[in-house]
Amino acid sequence: MLRVAYQGEPGAYSESAAIEYFGVEVETVPCESFDRVFEAVQMDQVERGILPIENSLAGSIHRNYDLLMRHTLWIVGEHDLHVEHCLISHPGVRLSDIRKVISHPQALAQCENHLRAMGDIEIAAEHDTAGSVRLLRAQGDLSVAAIASRRAAEVYGMAVLAENFEDEPANLTRFLIVACTPVKPKRRAKTSIVFTLNNQPGSLFKALSVFALREIDLTKIESRPLVGQPWEYLFYVDFCGSTEEGKVRRALDHLGEYAPMLRVLGSYPRKEAS
């Protein structure tokens, strides 16, 4: 059975993403931290890792960009998870009984308007969404609710008081699948790279020209600080195409003329448009 490491506790959104992507027969392996997910893959304890890289409301998860650079794993797939927050309580509790809501700070922020509509209640931050449901059950306080996925409610035998509790319905998280060896998709692929540039006028324009001149479509650009070189950057770029295509290989050769450091993080099957 394929083993997939994810960060969080059973019922976490990352676990839901793994099940959506790999199907129900996957064995999901919870990890304490993103670092541990990378390690579990690198040390062959699991075949795959799944990592959130970007949320359509909150932006990039920079820690995972930095960890991709620090490790030598390959990106072998991507998946968009529609994040649907539920308000979760002990069974039999009514909404009007709730005096306190707990969850991860980002989930609380994404439900701000719905929480405000509940009137004078206490809001408290916990380490993660599924973990707050586990805590809810362990503490047994009927006046407390947690915000997490429907799956987290099921895992811990709790009830869903309200669904679609998020303020903005277009709430997607993009996950990357990582492995020790690359895949080589021939078409409908996406490629992720990271590179540095000399700090010269027009350097980023030249770097992007290698894609534009070959009509290669960029889907994402992210800059991260280059440690030890204040105000210089690592650029992470995603584009449509596979390193199996001559056009892409020539673009990367061309980019190598400008980029002191260039690394391909992987070519992988592109998700369907969401």
Tell me which residues are annotated as active site.
173, 175
Closer residue to a copy of itself, CB minimum distance, 2 or 221: 221
Residue window 107-146: x/- pattern of binding to a copy of itself, with contact defined by CB under 8 A: ----------------------------------------
Catalogue the long-range contacts made by 21-24 (C-beta closer than 8 Å, 24 or more residues apart): 21/50, 21/77, 21/79, 21/175, 21/177, 22/48
- Inter-axis angle of helices 246-256 and 203-212, to 10 degrees? 170
Measured from the CB atom, the residue of 89 and 173 that comes closer to a copy of itself is: 173
**How many helices and strands in the chain, by DSSP H and E?**
9, 15
Residues whose CB falls within 8 Å of the CB of residue 226, separated by 6 or more in sequence, listed in order: 196, 232, 233, 234
Q: Tell me how far apart the terminal alpha carbons of the chain are, to the nearest angstrom.
A: 29
Closest distance of CB 143 from a copy of itself, Å = 27
Binding mask 33-72 for a copy of itself (x = CB under 8 A): ---------------------xxxxxx--x----------
Nearer to a copy of itself, 164 or 229 (CB): 229
The verdict on 272 binding a copy of itself (CB under 8 A) reads: no
Q: Give the chain's radius of gyration (CA, Å).
A: 21
Enumerate residues 211-250 that contact a copy of itself by CB under 8 A. 211-212, 215-225, 227-231, 233
Please select the residue that binds a copy of itself; options are 27, 141, 168, 253, rule is CB under 8 A: 168
CB of 240 to a copy of itself, least distance (A): 8
100 sits near a copy of itself (criterion: CB under 8 A): no
CA–CA distances in Å: residue 99 to residues 140, 156, 178, 234: 14, 21, 41, 46
DSSP 45: S
Shortest distance (Å) from residue 67 CB to a copy of itself:
14
Q: Pick from 2, 95, 170, 261 the residue near a copy of itself by CB under 8 A.
A: 170
Question: Three-state DSSP class for 12?
Answer: coil
Q: Write down the least CB distance from residue 192 to a copy of itself, Å.
A: 14
What sign does the CA torsion over 209, 210, 214, 215 have? negative
Should residue 263 be labelled a site residue for a copy of itself when binding is judged by CB under 8 A? Answer: no
- Name residue 49's beta-bridge partners: 5, 178
Q: Enumerate binding residues for a copy of itself (CB under 8 A).
A: 54-59, 62, 80, 168, 170, 172, 174, 201-202, 204-206, 208-209, 211-212, 215-225, 227-231, 233, 274
